[in-house]
Amino acid sequence: MSGLYPYAREIAELHNGTVFISNFSNLSFLDSQDYALLVVSYPWFDEEFVYSIYARLDFDRDGIYDPAVGFLPVRGSSDITSLTYSLREFRPAAAIFLKAGRVDYDEYLELSENASLVWVEGHGSPLGVNVGSWGLYPSRPGNPSGKVFVLESCEVGKVWEREDSLVLTLLGKGSPAVVASVDMGGVSYLPEEFWASGYPVGRLVQISNAYFKKVGIKPKAVLFGDPALVPVNSTEFSIVESPATGIYSKIFPRINGHIYTPGKPGLRAVFRAYGNLFSVIDLWRGIFTMGGIGFIIILIAFAVIFVHIRPEKKSLLGAMLSAAVSFLLLGAVMYYPPLGVSLQMVLFWTAVAVFEKKKVFWGLLALILPPAVITFISVLLNRATLSYGCFVMFVSFLTSLLLLVLLTVFGRVFQRVLDS
């Protein structure tokens, strides 16, 4: 305690704040509008501790904790001295957004050099994030000093599973704040620019968790580091705070009597807030970037096709055209993944179109089975909560129906053209 206290006091003084020494049994010293950095002994810190804090700080019982909180698991004074030095030197600047497969490691180093917020997307674990051709790992973190990291990846926040986790490495090497998920899936379904909206990072994590709660997911985003830190010096995305009244208070989540919406409350804000939940491209890009799983899925699908269905060349061509046009249409509305992933998606959707032509149920089953199996295994191995698994299956079913409609419509059109 004597080793930690001077640094805790310095962090508090940076925000004109106060230091409390507590065993976390009584949190009555916190108010709804506070920003709280909870410095926790590392052996105490686990998933149960995080969710117990979230639940006990929900003063108004609206489902989301009221003070904006960040956690700092410490194994010794060096863990808090690193944060103290990084906060003392931190200067808000610009944000960069790194999608999996879009940049290599050297580009990451160059782009992040003058950034104060780094958003990284990819498949993850407590050890790090796979960004495609490279990985953000403890052995290769670049220069995290003075940069807030938002890790849009599965389970990276489970720092209790290994002491050499990416999150603790980034904090130890000078990052003042790291946002990471402690469940399957990332830290937000809002657009990535949300993190550069000019709010303190603790408030942004709170807003993201409120949106998770609104659709039945546990608040799985966790902030490690300073919650009062504003990570950028300009607003790249508009988040509007409004009183929680009227119809929009039913559509958007409430936080301390307010709603936070991407732009002014309205239909456009509804689409921007919830549209990413039902992204067909996101779902299948995620599956086809999971190591060799995509290749196995395609192999099984075409093995079934050529052994049991044996379609004519004209029928196969029609299926391929319907898959390609469906992909081009969805990509134009959403975005196009890297070329290799895009080709795998079109190839698998071609197989789905063949199944659908034989029997509509077969097409739907082909779309639902891959995410269902992956989700079932994740829940079975305790890598995802049951509630999140159910949510993934609900979203997978809806996106599968949308894709199946497109493949069916375009398949019928192209078949008529080819037959004529």
Q: Is the pLDDT of residue 253 over 80?
A: yes
The residue-averaged pLDDT of 410-419 equals 90
- pLDDT value at position 382? 84
Indicate whether 101 pLDDT > 90. no
| Per-residue pLDDT tens over the stretch 332-353 | 998 899 899 999 999 999 999 9
User: In this predicted model, what pLDDT tens digit does every residue of 349-396 receive, in sequence order?
Assistant: 999 999 999 999 999 999 999 999 999 999 998 888 888 899 899 999
List pLDDT tens digits, range 191-211. 999 999 999 999 999 999 999
Helix H, strand E, coil C: the string for the chain is: CCCCHHHHHHHHHHCCCCCCCCCCCCCCCCCCCCEEEEEEEHHHCCHHHHHHHHHHCCCCCCCCCCCEEEEEEECCHHHHHHHHHHHHHCCCEEEEEECCCCCCHHHHHHHHCCEEEEEEECEEECCEEECCCCEEECCECCCCCCCEEEEECCCCCCHHHCCCCHHHHHHHCCCCEEEEECCCCCCCCCCHHHHHCCCCHHHHHHHHHHHHHHCCCCCCEEEEECCCCCCECCCCCCEEEEECCCCHHHHCCEECCEEEEECCCCHHHHHHHHHHHHCHHHHHHHHCCCCCHHHHHHHHHHHHHHHHHCCCHHHHHHHHHHHHHHHHHHHHHCCCCCHHHHHHHHHHHHHHHHHHHHCHHHHHHHHHHHHHHHHHHHHHCCCCCHHHHHHHHHHHHHHHHHHHHHHHHHHHHHHHHHHC
